[in-house]
């Protein structure tokens, strides 16, 4: 498999230890660091699909932009996606109808269809070599769901004006014999990092300024600071997946989930290019019920790559279902092999973070209470289209152009019919603070072998401890700097994850996912030398056996 589990996270490159196929198969997109004070019309924070599309659209509309990215371009969740480009919404059109009414569900369908078209046009116009294809998508029943779900969704998609079809078979999936599927025609797929590279070249070609390894801090209505320099701007777009401007309280309107991906070779031509999704686990304890999502990507002359995802859980809460992170991959392989029996050995595995909004639609628009700060967040599993819509909608707001989708996506909207889900998620969030009085998962630092981490209780203190491959111990406070929940160790991505609102930190305490904006506090922990030495001797003995 193309992963190197002993390397710590290179947070400039990606937000987890396991590399995705996209980042592993392309060169990192590095521009230059900001090295001077600068003034611009629009400052964009974040170099994923949302930030780069916003930069592209604003430049096309004649605006001047500066984009700053903490790591390299695509180093956030965009580089860890599976890049289905679709108007089939994970949260279902019949739910949208219930929450927003038929007219707005129709607007939602229209916006996602236009976003797919925008990507197709941009690929063509900018001549981006990113394997973009129009493909059909198929929504089929999960093992424990009933046909009623498909019937309801089919009617709602028709109400929303989509050209869906009800099929009596799930195309290409023999294991689903006798099950029905909804076909969504003219969806899309691409190699996301190649698309970002094309967008980047177009942005630079139009005179846009992009700075990588440049973290925006102290974001305000005047601009931000980065690398010790001032960036002055008339408008500020925060496109950081989870907003990192610290006065924003979006963490009470959306929840962070981890989702898992495996990728295996498959002989070219044995399966058609298409997107498949099941309707999800209806018995799931999570409001954002986990569903499976599968597609193919071109790999080489003889093989395609089968990319399959799912097995989600709330960040930092994998153990609540007694399924630790590593077992999620095993479950995913089992599920995928049953449906795609010709898949070969695993080439890649990785996980990533999706942000689930309370009412199914992303939050795109003016930050509540601000006139010149804008956010793009809450993409759910539809970040390719929501991120693209972010660029289109914000450009129209900033340039004063009318846009029919502004109210639908407004971060200030109030929605009804979501109270049950809201209370469930808030209850879950509050429950996470109980970790203050429970024991850590590791008794003391001597239990940690090289490459292992964990949470240690020491009196009233909670310590996030990690022993690196050279046997050096790294210790930080395990108290999340956002709102004080206790972090959990994620052994698969080698990070400390917050179960309350999804912030994540590297083994050395550097923040890699918001809403936290600061790193973990370093703590000095003295190890008992003799124990430490005996641990090393034991390791040496093991090596010689």
Residues within the interface to ligand FES (CB under 6 A): 251, 480, 482-485, 498, 500-503, 515-516
Q: How far is the CB of 250 from ligand FES (least distance, A)?
A: 11
Nearest residue to 292 via CA among 259, 248, 253, 326: 259
515 binds, among ligand FAD, ligand FES, none (CB under 5 to 8 A by kind): ligand FES
Minimum CB distance to ligand FAD, residue 85 (Å): 6
23: its two tokens: 């980042």
**SS3 per-residue string spanning 352-413:** EEEEEECCCCCEEEECCCCCCEEEEECCCCCHHHHHHHHHHHHHHHHHCCCCCCHHHHCCCC
368 versus 481: smaller Cβ distance to ligand FES: 481
Binding partner selected for residue 51 from ligand FES, ligand FAD, none, CB under the kind-specific 5 to 8 Å limit? ligand FAD
Other beta carbons less than 10 A from residue 229's beta carbon = 15
Q: Which of ligand FES, ligand FAD, none has residue 114 at its interface (CB below 5 to 8 Å by kind)?
A: none
In the bound state with ligand FAD, the residue whose beta carbon lies nearer, of 14 and 432, is 14
- Tell the smallest beta-carbon distance from residue 432 to ligand FAD (Å): 21
Q: Burial, 234: exposed, middle or buried (Cβ in 10 Å; 0-12, 13-18, 19+)?
A: middle
CB of 82 to ligand FAD, least distance (A): 4
Closest CB to ligand FAD: residue number? 383
**CA atoms of 138 and 164, how far apart (whole Å):** 10
Say which entry of ligand FES, ligand FAD, none residue 454 contacts (CB below 5 to 8 A, set by partner kind).
none
Q: What is the DSSP secondary-structure string of 281-318?
A: -TT-SSSS----EEEEEE-SSSEEEEEEEEEEEETT-G
* Nearest CB to ligand FES, comparing residues 246 and 321: 246
* Cis before 515 (ω within 30): yes
Contact residues for ligand FAD (CB under 6 A)? 45-51, 68-71, 75-78, 80-84, 215-216, 239-241, 244, 259, 261, 293, 309, 352-354, 376, 379, 381-385, 387
C-beta of 170 vs 376, nearer to ligand FAD: 376
Min separation Cβ 476 and ligand FES, Å? 14
Q: Is 283 exposed, middle or buried (0-12, 13-18, 19+ CB in 10 A)?
A: exposed
Binding partner selected for residue 77 from ligand FES, ligand FAD, none, CB under the kind-specific 5 to 8 Å limit: ligand FAD
Question: Minimum distance between the CB of residue 536 and ligand FES, rounded to whole angstroms?
Answer: 34
| CA R_g for the chain | 23
List the structure tokens of 224.
């931000």
CA distance 189 to 293: 13
* CB of residue 280 to ligand FAD, shortest distance in Å: 14
Nearer to ligand FES, 179 or 462 (CB): 462
Distance in Å, CB of 428 to ligand FAD, minimum: 20
Say which entry of ligand FAD, ligand FES, none residue 243 contacts (CB below 5 to 8 A, set by partner kind). Answer: none
Using the minimum distance from each CB to ligand FAD, give the nearer residue, 259 or 395. 259
**Which residues, including other chains, have CB under 8 Å from residue 106's CB and lie 6 or more apart?**
159, 160, 161
Rounded to the nearest whole angstrom, what is the least distance from the CB of residue 373 to ligand FES in the complex? 20
CA distances from 186 to 114, 117, 252, 293, 388 (A): 11, 9, 35, 17, 17
Select 265 or 386, whichever has its Cβ closest to ligand FAD: 386
Out of ligand FAD, ligand FES, none, what residue 65 binds, judged by CB under 5 to 8 A for its kind, is none
Residue ranges of the alpha helices (H) in 232-287? none
From ligand FES, ligand FAD, none, interface partner of 292 (C-beta below 5 to 8 A by class): none
Q: Are 363 and 252 in contact (CB under 8 A)?
A: no
Cβ-based burial of 222 (10 A; exposed 0-12, middle 13-18, buried ≥19): middle
Nearer to ligand FAD among residue 51 and residue 453 (C-beta): 51
Sign of CA dihedral 85, 91, 94, 98: negative
What H or E segment, with its residue span, contains residue 66? strand 65-68
Closest residue by Cα to residue 499 from 425, 421, 444: 425
**Residue 516 contact among ligand FES, ligand FAD, none, beta carbon within 5 to 8 Å by kind:** ligand FES
Q: Which does 288 bind (CB under 5 to 8 A by kind): ligand FAD, ligand FES, none?
A: none
Which of ligand FES, ligand FAD, none sits in contact with 83, Cβ below 5 to 8 A by type?
Answer: ligand FAD
Residue 293 Cβ, how far from ligand FAD at the closest point, in Å?
Answer: 6
Choose the one of ligand FES, ligand FAD, none that binds residue 69, judging by a C-beta under 5 to 8 angstroms depending on kind: ligand FAD
The nearest distance, CB 366 to ligand FES, in angstroms, is 23
Residue 447 DSSP class:
G
Least separation in angstroms between CB 239 and ligand FES: 19
């Amino acid at each position: 498999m193309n992963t190197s589990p002993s390397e710590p996270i290179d947070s400039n490159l990606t937000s987890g230890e396991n590399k995705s196929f996209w980042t592993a198969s392309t060169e990192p997109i590095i521009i230059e660091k900001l090295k001077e004070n600068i003034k611009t019309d629009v400052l964009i924070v974040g170099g994923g699909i949302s930030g780069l599309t916003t930069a592209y659209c604003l430049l096309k509309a004649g605006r001047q932009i500066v984009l700053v990215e903490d790591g390299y371009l695509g180093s956030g969740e965009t580089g860890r996606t599976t890049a289905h480009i679709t108007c089939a919404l994970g949260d279902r059109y019949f739910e949208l109808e219930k929450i927003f009414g038929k007219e707005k569900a129709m607007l939602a369908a229209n916006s996602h269809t236009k976003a797919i078209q925008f990507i197709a046009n941009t690929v063509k116009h900018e001549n981006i070599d990113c394997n973009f294809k129009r493909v059909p998508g198929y929504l089929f029943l999960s093992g424990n769901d009933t046909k009623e779900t498909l019937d309801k969704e089919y009617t709602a998609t028709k109400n929303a004006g989509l050209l869906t079809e009800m099929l009596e078979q799930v195309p290409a999936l023999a294991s689903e014999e006798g099950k029905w599927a909804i076909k969504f025609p003219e969806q899309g797929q691409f190699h996301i990092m190649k698309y970002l590279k094309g967008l980047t070249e177009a942005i630079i070609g139009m005179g846009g300024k992009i700075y990588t390894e440049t973290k925006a801090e102290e974001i305000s209505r005047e601009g931000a600071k980065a690398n010790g320099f001032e960036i002055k701007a008339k408008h500020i777009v925060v496109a950081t997946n989870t907003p990192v401007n610290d006065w924003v309280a979006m963490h009470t309107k959306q929840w962070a989930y981890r989702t898992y991906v495996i990728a295996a070779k498959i002989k070219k031509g044995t399966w058609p290019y298409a997107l498949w999704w099941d309707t999800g686990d209806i018995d799931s304890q999570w409001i954002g019920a986990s569903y499976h999502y599968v597609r193919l990507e071109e790999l080489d002359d003889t093989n395609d790559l089968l990319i399959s995802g799912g097995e989600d859980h709330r960040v930092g809460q994998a153990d609540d279902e007694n399924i630790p992170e590593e077992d999620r991959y095993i479950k995913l392989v089992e599920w995928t092999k049953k449906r795609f029996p010709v898949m070969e050995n695993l080439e890649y595995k990785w996980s990533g973070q999706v942000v689930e909004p309370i009412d199914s639609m992303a939050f795109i628009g003016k930050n509540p209470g601000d006139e010149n700060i804008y956010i793009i967040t809450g993409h759910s599993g539809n970040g390719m289209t929501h991120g693209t819509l972010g660029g289109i909608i914000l450009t129209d707001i900033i340039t004063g152009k009318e846009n029919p989708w502004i109210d639908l996506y407004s971060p200030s909207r109030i929605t009804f019919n979501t109270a049950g889900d809201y209370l469930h998620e808030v209850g879950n969030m509050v429950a996470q603070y109980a970790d203050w009085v429970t024991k850590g998962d590791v008794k003391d630092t001597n239990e940690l072998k090289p490459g292992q981490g964990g949470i240690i209780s020491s009196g009233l203190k909670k310590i996030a401890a990690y022993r690196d491959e050279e046997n050096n111990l790294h210790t930080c406070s395990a108290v999340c700097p956002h709102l004080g929940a206790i972090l959990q160790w994620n052994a698969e991505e080698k990070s400390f994850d917050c179960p309350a609102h999804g912030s994540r930190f590297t083994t050395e305490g550097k923040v890699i996912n918001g809403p936290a904006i600061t790193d973990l506090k370093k703590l000095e922990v003295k190890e008992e030398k003799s124990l430490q030495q005996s641990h090393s001797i034991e390791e040496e003995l093991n090596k010689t056996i």
